[in-house]
Copies of this chain bind each other. A is one copy, B any other.
Amino acid sequence: MATPTLATRMKVEAEIHESAWPAGFRFAAGHCGLKRKSPDLLLVTAPEPASCAAVFTTNRLQAPPVRLSRAHLAAAGGRMRALVVNSGNANCSTGPEGMRAALATARAAAKLAGCRPEQVLVCSTGVIGRRLPVEKILAALPQWARRDDGPAAAAQAILTTDTCAKLAAASFHDGGKTYRIAGFAKGSGMIHPNMATMLAFVFTDAPLTPAAAAKALRAAVEESFHRITVDGDTSTNDTAALFASGAGKLSAQGRQRFQAGLRQVAQALARQIVVDGEGATHFVTVKVEGARTAADADLAARTIAHSPLVKTALAGADANWGRVLAAAGRSGARFDPERAQIWFAGVPVYRRGRAIDFDEAEAKRRLELPEVEVRIHLGAGRAQAWMWTCDLTEGYIRINGSYRT
């Protein structure tokens, strides 16, 4: 296709200067044979145990690496030494052999890092239902003891159908020191032939206890990865993890600055995932205001952001407020449509029970920009919520409707 992708149009930040990366982590990334040619294996090691926290998929179907990583985190008390990620195969629905493969991977990485297997986090992404040829991982890893490929190569090795790497960084000061927070992610676009996964890994040299890392990560995820949707389908392997290598203690203000930096990095990664959504031509912020409760606001925002009718209208740069109002109406949020108001890209289109005469040409011009906002005020209270999503295009259908080969 000659059409530039949304990622190109929005100039997604894909390079982070080396100096923005926190010390205390080594990134080895390369090809082990799960994919035909592209990088497909990542090993991250920390010379000292890093405080680690992770948030995993809530899908009832959880791949063996997710179940194993959850157990390892608990067993190691959140003090981890290594992370292994393979792309090209999700190691999901692979029977008892799948768990043996994940365990073997953790053991191989532990040997290399000189730690216990439970100090290793394992993630997989790619095809589900096909045996993971773990022997390829086990053959490659022992050669990687001294490799240092850097974070940019690491960000590449975890991709599947993503059209570009996703990286973000932030820094903050505390007690005369500069701390760094940086990470990379891959998208939740659904791969050929099966679904893929959202993976996000954030590293920092700030000092955090495992409990503080868990609390900070949960808060950041709530405002980033939990607020994005491409097609409403959640994966079996979704994982977001935070690794903190620093020693010492942050001040109260430092902890706040860290939280702000972590949110910034997580939001930047989450945005990049949506921008790289399959077939996407618009990055969309859905804002719900004036809801009775936070739960109502959330319900309405999620229902609007998932509505195929809203998403196809946005693909057509159509200020179709009827679809937004109908989606809010069936969401379960309590409100009176007669008191609601709707804006498309800042243009008021509906107020208190009826359409507003608006400049359709101006609305269309604004809705043709790569980033647009749909805002609804429910007129029922003061609670708010937002979601990031993309439009639904023929490109999405083409990518996901083709037969597995």
Show the binding face of A for B, using Cβ within 8 Å: 58-61, 92-96, 128-130, 190, 193-195, 231-236, 306-309, 312-313, 315-318, 320-323, 325-330, 333-335, 337, 350, 353-355, 360, 364, 392-394, 396-398, 400-404
Instruction: Check B394–A195 contact: CB distance below 8 A.
Output: no
Instruction: Check B59–A330 contact: CB distance below 8 A.
Output: yes
Instruction: Check B308–A60 contact: CB distance below 8 A.
Output: no
Instruction: Check B60–A354 contact: CB distance below 8 A.
Output: no
Instruction: Check A355–B93 contact: CB distance below 8 A.
Output: yes
Can you report 9 A-B residue pairs in the complex whose CB atoms are below 8 A from each other? A60-B335, A60-B337, A93-B354, A95-B354, A190-B323, A194-B323, A233-B308, A236-B326, A309-B400
Instruction: Check B130–A320 contact: CB distance below 8 A.
Output: no
Instruction: Check B128–A309 contact: CB distance below 8 A.
Output: no
Q: What residue of chain B has the Cβ atom nearest to residue A128's Cβ?
A: B322
Instruction: Check A318–B404 contact: CB distance below 8 A.
Output: yes
Instruction: Check A308–B232 contact: CB distance below 8 A.
Output: yes
Instruction: Check A355–B130 contact: CB distance below 8 A.
Output: yes
Q: What residue of chain B has the Cβ atom nearest to residue A309's Cβ?
A: B233
Instruction: Check A315–B401 contact: CB distance below 8 A.
Output: yes
Output the least CB separation between A262 and chain B (Å).
Answer: 26
Report chain B residues within 8 Å CB of A364: 403
Q: What residue of chain B has the Cβ atom nearest to residue A331's Cβ?
A: B60
Instruction: Check B353–A95 contact: CB distance below 8 A.
Output: yes
Instruction: Check B59–A313 contact: CB distance below 8 A.
Output: no
Output the least CB separation between A98 and chain B (Å).
Answer: 8
Report chain B residues within 8 Å CB of A128: 322, 326
Output the least CB separation between A360 and chain B (Å).
Answer: 8
Instruction: Check B397–A397 contact: CB distance below 8 A.
Output: yes
Report chain B residues within 8 Å CB of A322: 92-93, 128-129, 194-195
Output the least CB separation between A75 and chain B (Å).
Answer: 22
Report chain B residues within 8 Å CB of A234: 326, 330
Instruction: Check B193–A318 contact: CB distance below 8 A.
Output: yes
Most chain B C-beta atoms within 10 Å of own C-beta, residue among A60, A333, A355: A60
Output the least CB separation between A308 and chain B (Å).
Answer: 5
Output the least CB separation between A334 and chain B (Å).
Answer: 8
Instruction: Check B393–A401 contact: CB distance below 8 A.
Output: yes
Q: How far is the CA of A256 from the CA of B131 in the complex (A)?
A: 53
Report chain B residues within 8 Å CB of A312: 396-397, 400-401
